[in-house]
Structure 1
Amino acid sequence: MTRSLLTIDLAALRRNVERLREAAGSAEVWAVVKADGYGHGALDCARAALAAGARGLCVATVGEGAALRDAFREPRILVMGPLAHGDVERALGAGLEVVAVDPVLPPGVPVHVKVDTGMGRFGMSPEEALALPGDRVVGIMSHLATADEDDEGFVREQLERFRTVADAFPGAVRHVANSAATLRFPDARFEAVRCGIAVYGLSPFPGRRPSDDGLEPVLSWRSHVAVEKTLSADESTGYGRRFVAERKTRIGLVPVGYGDGFRRGLTGTEVSVDGERRRVLGTVSMDSFAVELGDARAGAPVALIGDGILAEEHASRLGTINYEVVCGIRCGPERTKRRVVDG
């Protein structure tokens, strides 16, 4: 029995891409597979996304793009991050497209001009973009800061700034929508949308479940109860005695901890033990955590994510976003087995 098992469901991913294509209308869907496909596996997820009709792939680095090009000869692959020394030559050799974040355009490669319309990160000002020669530019892009928030005002401001620049580059592919904007703002879709988190069946909206937008989680993470113990009243489990039993209490020890990406702050979150929701008790250790056991016994299956337990729930407990939860799972043969299924 493995310590823990990460399962990636490619059929669910394809359905998510189909849902996003439906939302995008005439715009192409470009799947964002940076950071090893948000922890899901870039190559497997890229292949499934393309099979479901995605027309392009987006990554953060030339290294990520080159690895994808080795596997996929045809699709557009866009490197969205800043370029390091030697990256232009490598991008050219791999047939990648790159993003220009300042007015000095990289030579010899297809360039997408990134305009900072209000995100305050990478990107040139609208004035700098408007001064560029149009013959080098194949795409115009920006990034929305608040597409997942209730107030639409700042999104509308960003879109207006973006249109002012994009109109000066006829023929260039315009793309600004992320997952949230694809699902929520029809006028943000233009010719292409860049979808990341929703491809993996995770909600781009705080406080919402994936199913609220027709999405299915692609990743599940399971382990088991390795040891069962009974605490008497006033006995504790874990560092710092953060859980002290008030009465006779059965607990199970699960061989997953923050060394695997199950964060220390997840005390009090719920997992599924033998199909029943149970609380995580005490301090999460590097290699294990304790959980309420109820009537379950040693060997009982434990779902950390899956079987109704959502990454969004753990993110809420941690005060973070679901992106960080799934990207933080460590998947390697030394600790966690990974398997890919298709339905």
Structure 2
Amino acid sequence: MRQASITIHKAALQHNLQRVKQLAPKAKTICMVKANAYGLGVENAIHALDQADAFGVACLQEALEIRATGNHKPITLIEGVFSETELLTAIKEKCECIIHHRQQLDWLLHHKTAYQNAGLKVWIKLNSGMNRLGFKVPEIINVIHQLKDENFHCVLAMHFANADVPEHPMNQQQIDQLLHVKAVCEPIEVSCCNSAAIYNYPELHFDYVRPGIMLYGASPFDDRSAKDLGLQTTMTFTAGVMAINRIKAGEKVGYGSRFIAEKDISIAVVSIGYGDGYPRAYQVPVFVAINGQRFAHAGRVSMDMMTIDITGYEDQIHPGTSVELWGEHISVDEVAAANGTIGYELLCRLTERPKRIIQD
């Protein structure tokens, strides 16, 4: 059997959730499980995150995947619904909606009675300068007043563009707008903190925090590791050695023949590639780990295989030897940085081909 697996550490997920609760003890925690729970698998994640106050997803389809497991915790659709029909389904499944444009507002008002009878809050998105979704000031104030006049339970929501860079001037501009809208619309619940903001802006935790990447044991910061943040690794991504080849000086390895051996070396072929979600386009040397020892890539990653230089360790590595791609010894953030991207992307790119294994 091809050895490519993702071991999900349930206890680490639970530890990371408790870390959120330590940092934001007065706020409710909406655990983001969108994009298949950042690659872990939504069913795996929600079982581990049973102490969450609610779950957050991008769309109704993701919410329905949660409901299909029999889980009845509150769910927030952070992009709202995409049609009036979706709104009716969201009401039936007791999913709370963000609204960020007028059409969604009209649908909500048209189905006011059903939405309110379901006991659902409505989240109103402030566009404070990120310019993706939301109502700008002063339009959002009018929307909130309109909804409050109709007896909706409202939550003011905002998303930081640069929460991971506390000195960025955009942060204060966004905060000023949020606090202005909050003051004008009091009383109102508020949510604005993602993982980075949970760390950097404790004074802005308000009523709900929305952790994502920190739950999955990766860092939202370029200059602070997950370990530095008190987080534990939730995923160990491994594959197996398929074959070992001796390569003479001057011989080439892999597509494009870019890797040329400078001396006689030993190459291990590993059963993993971009077809599994492992990145191909590394910009600086990338390493894997075998028994805690780091080994460098040798040649391009292909769809189903990669090659690594194991020279000097031939007596310790054999077909079937387990290779850690990221996990305890190699962080996903390190692999991401070497590929010019972020840990979020690598986790979300994981395909269904690697087997998921749950470890308590």
TM range (shorter): over 0.9
Provide the residue aligned with 2:351 in structure 1: 330
| Structure 2 residue ranges without an equivalent (≥5) | 116-120
TM-score by length of 1: 0.94
Scaled by the length of structure 2, the TM-score of the pair is 0.90
Closer, same or farther: CA 55–185 of 1 in aligned 2, 3 Å: same
**Structure 1 pair 72–175 and aligned structure 2 pair: CA distance change class (3 A):** farther
Shift of 1:41: 1.2
3-state SS of paired residue (1:225): strand
Q: Distance in 1 between matches of 2:102 and 2:82?
A: 16
Q: Is the 8 A contact 2:282 2:340 kept in 1?
A: no
Could you say if the C-alpha distance between residues 256 and 248 of structure 1 is closer, same or farther in structure 2, counting changes exceeding 3 Å? same
- Root mean square deviation, CA, Å: 1.6
For 1:97, what is the secondary structure of its paired residue?
Answer: strand
Equivalence for 2:100: 101
Equivalents in 1 of 2:67, 2:241: separation in Å?
A: 42
Q: CA deviation at 1:275?
A: 2.7
| Aligned equivalent of 1:126 | 137
Contact in 2 for aligned 1:264/1:284 (Cα 8 Å): yes
Q: 2:92, 2:24 → 1: CA distance?
A: 32
| 1:278 alignment partner, one of 281, 295, 320 | 295
Counterpart for residue 81 of structure 2: 83
Deviation at 1:169, TM superposition (A): 3.3
Q: Is contact 2:292–2:329 with CA below 8 Å preserved after alignment?
A: no
Q: Return the letter of the residue paired with 2:335.
A: H
Query: Following TM superposition, by how much is the alpha carbon of 1:83 offset from its aligned partner in structure 2, in angstroms?
Result: 2.0
2:118 aligns to what? none
2:180 is the alignment partner of 1:164: yes
Structure 1 residues not aligned, in runs of 5+: none
Q: Is the 8 A contact 2:166 2:200 kept in 1?
A: no
Matched, 1:292 2:290: no
- Amino acid across the alignment from 2:5: L
**Paired positions, count:** 337
Summarize the alignment of residues 140-289 of structure 1 with structure 2, pairs less than 5 Å apart: 140-266=156-282, 268-289=285-306
Deviation at 1:166, TM superposition (A): 2.0
**2:338 is the alignment partner of 1:339:** no
Question: CA offsets, 1:278-303, max 9 Å, x none?
Answer: 00111111110100113123322100
- Please name the residue that 2:30 is paired with: 30
Aligned-residue offset at 1:323 = 0.1
CA distance in structure 2 between the aligned counterparts of 1:150 and 1:5, rounded to whole angstroms: 37
The change in CA–CA distance for 1:56 and 1:72 in structure 2 (over 3 A counts) is farther
Q: Deviations over 1:61-109 (max 9, x none)?
A: 0111122234355422100114222210110110110010013413233
Q: CA deviation at 1:208?
A: 2.1
Which whole-Å CA distance do the structure 2 matches of 1:163 and 1:194 have between them? 18
Equivalent-residue separation in structure 2 for 1:292 and 1:307 (angstroms): 20
Is the CA contact 2:287–2:296 (under 8 Å) kept in the aligned structure 1? yes
Which residue of 54, 60, 63 maps to 1:62? 60
Which one of the candidate residues 329, 332, 337 is aligned to 1:308? 329
